[in-house]
Structure formats: structure tokens, C-alpha cells
Amino acid sequence: MMETLEDAELCIPQLNSSCRKPTHPPNTVLLIYVLLSCVSFITVALNLLVIISISHFRQLHTPTNLLLLSLAVSDLLVGFVLMPVEIIYIELCWFLGDVLCTLYYIFDYIITSASVANMVLISLDRYIAICDPLRYHGKVTGSTAQICVCLCWICSVFYRLLLLYDHLEKPGMSNSCFGECVVVINHIAGVIDMVFTFIIPITIIIVLYFRIFVVAVSQAQIMRSQVGAAIGQRSGPVTARKSELKAARTLGIVIVVFLICFCPYYFPALEGEDTSIDASSVAFEIWLAHFNSCLNPVVYAFFCPWFRKSIKLILTLQILKPGSRNAKVL
């Protein structure tokens, strides 16, 4: 009876090299399925709204929004492709083979890298817009934004192919048994990945947004003195304070969200260990990194008035009317 039970727990019964099926308590599995499915659905819905808004309305065809569009595409792929695969394999074994397993993780890493790179580009765009507004339209054009977005994706592809070259040469090299889909990144590769995908991007984002904050504060002080001189000291500090708080809030949200979502994933590299990723492990750090794709449209678009107006037009099906592309959403 014990042997039968053990065989039943294997991905392929009677096969000694077969992995054991992932097992979780039924109530826990149900809760995980519901929770992660909701996260996946919200991620797809929010990013799809961003993509439709920017693609449909002519007023939103700007270099800045092209960067937001690229970010939304990468985050949509996380919610539409990566999250569902991980949900499906919570209670299943991997039967798609070693090659598809490796390609899945390469696709995962490419999307994640592109998403982070897009966040850096958006920070750079906002830095130029606020700190050098007179030359912004000369520096940041539609073609410039298109080139930056293309380079962002191309570099992400080549970077990840280079980093995971060993796994491409030997698919399934990290799998210990049949029915498993695991990729183990050695410590050196993990440190390199941490530097280029976490430390450098977050440093650039912090420096740029801190500079934006400093400029916003100085501009607010100038406005305060000008308004105060014109109509008294009452309304000036209020306007300035709002500008300062808005700049500080944006800075804080972007940095805190990035750190919370990506820090846990890089703990093994920080501790000098290899990074192991299993498609069926429901690893908290993997889902937290992917959850960043659900938060990005909230951080970068949801608080913009044009996005709220676009959502209203989309959900009420106003975009199906002739001439809706020319609607005023700004």
C-alpha cells in the first residue's frame, strides 16, 4: 500500500527518475489559486487599459507615453504569459520538456529586464522634462523614444541570452528529476544580474528622481516668492507645498515599490548563494517581483488625469464611436 501511495505521488508512476508531484493542503491551494489568479487578471486589465488608451487617442501619442506603452507591454506579458504558467504548475509536473523550460525562463528574464529598463527610461524622460524643459522637445522626440524603446528590448534579449547561455547549451541542466522545471543561476551570474538589473537601475532612478525633487522644490520656492509678492503670503506656500509633496510622493512610491518587489529575489546573491527558480514552487520572491508589473500602471499612469478620462471612455465603449481617436483626454 505504501509503495502504491508513493508511486501515485510521482509525476510518472513506476519511473524512478520521476519527480514527486507538488503537494499543498487543499485549502491552501484554493487560496493560492484565487489570490494569484486575481493578481494576474488585475495585471492584465490595468496594463491593457494603458495600452488601449495610449494606442487609441491621438493626444496621447507623445514620446513620454511611448515609454509608458513599452512598459505596459512588458508588464502585460508578465500577467498574460508568466503568471498563468506559474499558476497552472502549482499542482502539476512539467511535461513540456527541458527546451521549453529553458525558453520559458529566458522569456521571463527578458520581460523583467525590459520592464526595469523601461522604468529607467521613464525616469530619464521625466528628469529632462523637469530639469531641462527648454530643450526637452529638441532632445526627446518621437523617433528618439522609438530608438530607446527598441534598444531597451534588444539589449534585454542579448543580455539574458548571454547570462543564460549555459542553460541554452544544456537545457534541463538544473533539473534533478523528470517533471521538474528549474533554473539555477550560479553566484557569479547572480551577482552580475543583481548589479545590472537591480543596483544600477535603482541607483539611476534614485539619483534622477532626487534631482527632480530638488528642482521641484526650488521651482516651488520661486513660485512662492512670486505669488507671495503679487497677492500676499497666503496662497503661495500652499501651492509650493503641494508641488513639494507631489514630487516627494512620486519619488517615494517609485523607489519603495521597486525595492520591495525586487529585494527578496536578490537575497541569495547578496548571501553568496546560487539562485534557484522553480516554476511550480510558488516562490514568494518570484511572485513579488512579478507583482511589480501589477503596480507599475498604478504608479506611472493611474494618477494621471488623462488615464482616468481614457478609462471612462473605454469602459463606456465611447471609443467605438467614429472620431473617438480625436477625443480630448488631456
User: 110: which residues sit within 8 A by CB, 6+ positions away?
Assistant: 153, 156, 157, 160
Which residue is it, cell 487617442? 57
Residue 154 has a pLDDT of 95
pLDDT digits (tens, 9 = 90+) for 13-45: 777 777 777 676 778 778 888 898 999 999 999
Residue 106, SS3 per DSSP: helix
Residue 246 has a pLDDT of 60
Tally of domains within the chain: 1
Residue 82, SS3 per DSSP: helix
Q: What is the DSSP letter of 164?
A: T
Q: What is the CATH number of the domain that holds 38?
A: 1.20.1070.10
Residue 304 has a pLDDT of 79
Highest mean predicted confidence (pLDDT) among 119-128, 220-229, 239-248, 299-308? 119-128
pLDDT surpassing 90 at residue 328: no
pLDDT digits (tens, 9 = 90+) for 208-222: 888 887 887 777 677
Contact 273, 187 (CB under 8 A): yes
Whose CA is closest to 211, among 168, 162, 247?
Answer: 247
Residue 20, SS3 per DSSP: strand
Residue 155 has a pLDDT of 93
Full domain range(s) for residue 227: 2-326
Whose CA is closest to 297, among 50, 15, 111, 20?
Answer: 50
Q: How far apart are the first and last CA of the chain?
A: 70
Cα(116)–Cα(112) distance, integer angstroms: 6
Q: How far is CA 113 from CA 31, 71, 117, 152, 307, in A?
A: 30, 11, 6, 9, 25
pLDDT digits (tens, 9 = 90+) for 131-153: 888 888 888 898 999 999 999 99
Residue 245 has a pLDDT of 54
| Cell numbers for 61 | 501619442
Which DSSP string corresponds to 266-282? GHHHHTT--EEEETTS-
pLDDT digits (tens, 9 = 90+) for 290-318: 888 998 888 887 777 888 888 888 988 88
Contact 182, 175 (CB under 8 A): yes
Mean pLDDT for the chain? 81
Q: What is the DSSP letter of 21?
A: P
pLDDT digits (tens, 9 = 90+) for 52-106: 999 999 988 989 889 999 999 999 999 999 888 888 877 777 888 888 888 888 8
Q: Which residue has the higher pLDDT, 324 or 147?
A: 147
Residue 271 has a pLDDT of 66
Which residue is it, cell 508589473? 293
Residue 78 has a pLDDT of 92
Which residue is it, cell 529607467? 120
Q: Which residue has the higher pLDDT, 313 or 239?
A: 313
